[in-house]
Amino acid sequence: MNARTEATVSVVIPCYNEEHGLQSLFTRLYPALDALHRQYEVIFVDDGSSDRTVAGLREQFNKRPDVTRVVVLARNVGQHMAIMAGFAQARGDYTVTLDADLQNPPEEIANIIAAMDSGADYVGTVRKNRHDAYWRKAASRLMNRFREQTTHIRITDQGCMLRGYDREIVDAINSCVEVSTFVPALGYTFARNPVEIEVAHAERAVGQSKYSLFRLIRLNFDLMTGFSVVPLQFFSMAGMVISLVSLLGFVGLTIRRIVHGPEAEGLFTLFAIAFFLIGVLLMGVGVVGEYVGRIYEQVRQRPRYTVAALLEQESTEAIVPAKERA
């Protein structure tokens, strides 16, 4: 057996108010992982749930303490920061992320592992037949295209969180202290040999998506501000073009004034142009604000999340990092 097929696996699952779905997740996840025939650990991160999620995770920890670890966060910090909290704990050679709502079939983990065994250090996924609301799919297509054009990140389906990261990438991610981030994009920036595979996707089994339109917009701003300054440059360039056009307009009108004498028509056209420019201006200020707000959060250097409790076996048979095995 070569070293890669002995690689150990950490599975990180963020859970936010998922009490009703946990049982079916456990009954599918653990057999799928046992079938891999390698050492693994599952790290559940409770993202400040207000329902019985923590109790459900504790129960599962008591059933399978050898392969289960639970990180309980003090407050809700969002899916991506919750994954960061899980990454800080992950000890496997490979780390796979998964949603708790069974939209990502746990059986697909085997395919991610296979791709990593063949040498990929980052396995992205593309959802076949995505089962989400129509407006979500349309918005995703738009955001994927926008990201392709404004960043160097080449991932087909940024929203699919079922992904695999090699140890070195997880270490690199762990060394980042950003307060707002987008984990798949961050991982991609460190990847040397990224690949993509297709995975199945299911409808959410129980409960509702934790993303309102507002939260989705915020998440996409995290992605945009975290990985590109093109939006800022776009506004400075738009400013230059508009100034140039205005200058030409000014010269033209001055000549007209000399040739035709004073005129005072086209008031409504003037309004339309003024409103349009004010709109562009407000949008530009907003974009700058998105960056500035995140810089402000970053410079305050508050802890990004606080761990309220960590459930794990003390003397553990759990997986040993490759470095220590050697």
CB contact burial 136-164 (16+ within 10 A = b; e otherwise): eeebbeebeebbeebbebebebbbbbbbb
Which parts of the chain fold into alpha helices (H)?
22-34, 53-63, 79-87, 109-117, 134-150, 167-174, 183-190, 213-227, 230-260, 267-300, 322-325
| 166 contacts Mg ion (rule: CB under 5 A) | no
Distances (CA, A) of 103 to 7, 33, 110, 211, 282: 26, 17, 16, 14, 38
Residue with tokens 């040993």: 320
Residue 23: name the closest of 60, 63, 71, 70 by CA.
60
DSSP letters, 100-144, are TTSSS-GGGHHHHHHHHHTT-SEEEEEETT--S-HHHHHHHHHHH
* Inter-residue contact 46 to 54 (CB < 8 Å): yes
Q: Give me the 31-70 binding string for ligand UDP, x by CB under 6 A, dash otherwise.
A: ----------------x-----------------------
For ligand UDP, the binding residue among 67, 82, 113, 318 (CB under 6 A) is: 82
Q: Give me the 166-205 binding string for ligand UDP, x by CB under 6 A, dash otherwise.
A: --------------------------------------x-
Nearer to ligand UDP, 75 or 323 (CB): 75
| 14 contacts ligand UDP (rule: CB under 6 A) | yes
Which two three-digit tokens encode residue 217? Answer: 């917009």
| 99 contacts ligand UDP (rule: CB under 6 A) | yes
| 225 contacts Mg ion (rule: CB under 5 A) | no
CA distance 295 to 128: 37
Residue 231: name the closest of 282, 284, 185 by CA.
284
| 234 contacts ligand UDP (rule: CB under 6 A) | no
For ligand UDP, the binding residue among 39, 68, 95, 103 (CB under 6 A) is: 103
Nearer to ligand UDP, 73 or 120 (CB): 73
Nearest-approach distance from CB 325 to Mg ion, in angstroms: 35
| 157 contacts ligand UDP (rule: CB under 6 A) | no
DSSP letters, 293-323, are HHHHHHHHT--S--EEEEE--SS--S---HH
CA distance 24 to 304: 31
Helix axes 22-34, 53-63, angle to 10 degrees: 30
| 104 contacts ligand UDP (rule: CB under 6 A) | no
Binding positions for Mg ion, 103-122, rule CB under 5 A? 103
User: Which of these ranges, 41-49, 94-102, 230-238, 265-273, lies near Mg ion under the rule CB under 5 A?
Assistant: 94-102
Q: Give me the 253-292 binding string for ligand UDP, x by CB under 6 A, dash otherwise.
A: ----------------------------------------
| 235 contacts ligand UDP (rule: CB under 6 A) | no
Nearest-approach distance from CB 15 to ligand UDP, in angstroms: 5
Which two three-digit tokens encode residue 305? Answer: 């999340």
| 93 contacts Mg ion (rule: CB under 5 A) | no
| 112 contacts ligand UDP (rule: CB under 6 A) | no
Site size for ligand UDP, by CB under 6 A? 17
| 101 contacts Mg ion (rule: CB under 5 A) | yes
Q: Which residues bind ligand UDP (CB under 6 A)?
A: 14-16, 18, 47, 76, 78-79, 82, 99-101, 103, 204, 209-211
